[in-house]
Amino acid sequence: MSINIPRGTQDILPGEVETWQLIEDAAKRLCRLYQYQEIRTPIFEHTELFSRGVGDSTDIVQKEMYTFEDRGGRSITLRPEGTAAVVRAFVEKKMFGNPDQPVKLYYMGPMFRYERPQAGRFRQFVQFGVEALGSNDPAIDAEVISLAMNLYGELGLKKLKLVLNSLGDPESRKAHRDALVSHFKPRIGEFCGDCQNRLEKNPLRILDCKKDRDHELMKTAPSIIEYLNEGSRDYFEKVKEYLGQLGISFEVDPKLVRGLDYYNHTAFEIMSDAEGFGAITTLCGGGRYNGLAEEIGGPETPGIGFAMSIERFIAALEAEKVSLPVEKKIDCYLVSLGDRAKDYTVGLLQELRKLGVSAERDYLGRKLKAQFKAADRLNARFVAVLGEDELDKGVINLKNMETGDQEEVELASFVEKFREQQG
């Protein structure tokens, strides 16, 4: 019996992977411009990092984590997201002591969530994310959002919608929390078991419930915006002002709560407005998480960031019918005829590659015509033909496939000459 790929995962094959690489390269280039540096953290962490960081009452922690006991009896979890681990590293490696503050980091790598697979939702997916730690300046909220918007824009996405909310500071959140409890408590019996548990622990999570989302009390629930104190309101105003200054339009949605517990103040999502995009339209999510470093044992540190999956990025490109300029070309294909010539191309190929020329030869003993076809499929800019006669004369035939020009080149100077020809 053959073995299949696990549900919710995918193989990314040649022909597809080039698009991934283009997105990854563009993300890295932007991070350089914005001065975010790469950080790589482990794929697995102690489970406690996520139960404390992401939050015990979130769907991620309650239902979606790949958790197992390792052979030493420790509870280990495959990371479902990147923020908690980045903040752990920031605290553990004492990056709060770096002379350059805020510390601006980015990461790219696989995350794991045991979710019900559907279009745009995988069990292993790749997130690109940034985190800026150590600044409470609303300008950095705007910077983080603009980085995400610019990345999408640079690769050709147009149908984007930025949705923004403020979850306020701890004082505002507490006032809102109390209001939510009073709102839901009298009729909590009509809600699912999860919501009943969340009522006292974390009523904000009720607003995020997928089962009860159509209950009438959801529509009339008190909105955080009404409970923002002056400081939180001012902060939010400033973020909006900076976004305006950057020419980034947005919509405020007081119902945007996000699925992770660590957020306060700014919360945002970037959605695709493209027709034909699946039911899940969120491309990117992020926000501010000022208490998170303390939650995992570090000093008080403000932070803000976002994460987006490459899978949904590609789905949005497809929905908007944007095709990225994937260059598929090689510099030179070596066609050879006869055993001696074939043997000779082994070394020649190596010399070309050493000089930075992308080159290929036949490994299947194909006839001349089939070798030319192979060169065509690879989009070779030049084809160099070597037969026994040429070899005896010490020459090789070089054909420029774009212009059709052919010339005989001395074998001894071929590699050098080739490089010159290429310009």
Question: Which single residue is written with the structure tokens 């939510």?
Answer: 180
CB of 86 to ligand HAM, least distance (A): 8
83 annotated to a ligand binding site: yes
258 annotated to a ligand binding site: yes
CB of 258 to ligand HAM, least distance (A): 6
Chain mean position to CA 132: 16
Q: Give the torsion sign (CA, 174, 64, 122, 147).
A: positive
Q: Report d(CA 270, CA 386) in Å as an integer.
A: 56
Structure tokens at 176: 């809102």
Q: For ligand HAM, which stretch binds (CB under 6 A), given 127-135, 192-200, 232-240, 349-357?
A: 127-135
Given candidates 27, 30, 31, 82, which one binds ligand HAM under the rule CB under 6 A? 82
Contact status, residue 130 vs residue 31, Cβ threshold 8 Å: yes
Q: Which residues pair with 385 in a beta bridge?
A: 335, 397
Question: Could you say whether residue 55 binds ligand HAM (CB under 6 A)?
Answer: no
Type of residue at 72: G
Q: For ligand HAM, which stretch binds (CB under 6 A), given 20-28, 308-316, 333-341, 369-377?
A: 308-316
CB of 232 to ligand HAM, least distance (A): 18
101 annotated to a ligand binding site: no
Question: Could you say whether residue 141 binds ligand HAM (CB under 6 A)?
Answer: no
> Whose Cβ is closer to ligand HAM: residue 83's or residue 290's?
83
In the chain the first and final C-alpha atoms are separated, in Å, by 53
Contact status, residue 259 vs residue 235, Cβ threshold 8 Å: no
Q: Which of 59, 79, 171 is closest to 125 using CA atoms? A: 79
Contact status, residue 146 vs residue 167, Cβ threshold 8 Å: no
Question: Could you say whether residue 148 binds ligand HAM (CB under 6 A)?
Answer: no
CB of 15 to ligand HAM, least distance (A): 21
Question: Could you say whether residue 285 binds ligand HAM (CB under 6 A)?
Answer: yes
Strand 103-112 versus strand 37-38 pairing type? parallel
Q: Report d(CA 212, CA 214) in Å as an integer.
A: 6
Given candidates 143, 169, 208, 311, which one binds ligand HAM under the rule CB under 6 A? 311
235 annotated to a ligand binding site: no
Strand 395-400 versus strand 406-410 pairing type? antiparallel
Count of residues that interact with ligand HAM, criterion CB under 6 A: 28
**What CA–CA distances, in Å, run from 311 to 65, 176, 293, 420?**
19, 35, 29, 41
Chain mean position to CA 367: 45
> Whose Cβ is closer to ligand HAM: residue 127's or residue 336's?
127
Given candidates 45, 59, 131, 261, which one binds ligand HAM under the rule CB under 6 A? 131
Given candidates 110, 254, 259, 387, which one binds ligand HAM under the rule CB under 6 A? 259
The burial of 245, by beta-carbon neighbours within 10 Å (0-12 exposed, 13-18 middle, 19 or more buried), is given as: exposed
CB of 410 to ligand HAM, least distance (A): 56
Question: Could you say whether residue 107 binds ligand HAM (CB under 6 A)?
Answer: no
CB of 194 to ligand HAM, least distance (A): 18
- Using CA atoms in the order 186, 191, 194, 199, what is the torsion angle rounded to 10 degrees? -20
Question: Could you say whether residue 282 binds ligand HAM (CB under 6 A)?
Answer: yes
> Whose Cβ is closer to ligand HAM: residue 17's or residue 368's?
17
Question: Which single residue is written with the structure tokens 């902060």?
Answer: 235
> Whose Cβ is closer to ligand HAM: residue 129's or residue 134's?
129
Given candidates 51, 58, 77, 83, which one binds ligand HAM under the rule CB under 6 A? 83
Q: Which residues bind ligand HAM (CB under 6 A)?
A: 81-83, 113, 115, 120-122, 125, 127, 129, 131, 259-260, 282-287, 289, 305-309, 311-312
Binding residues for L-histidine: 81-83, 113, 127, 131, 258, 262-263
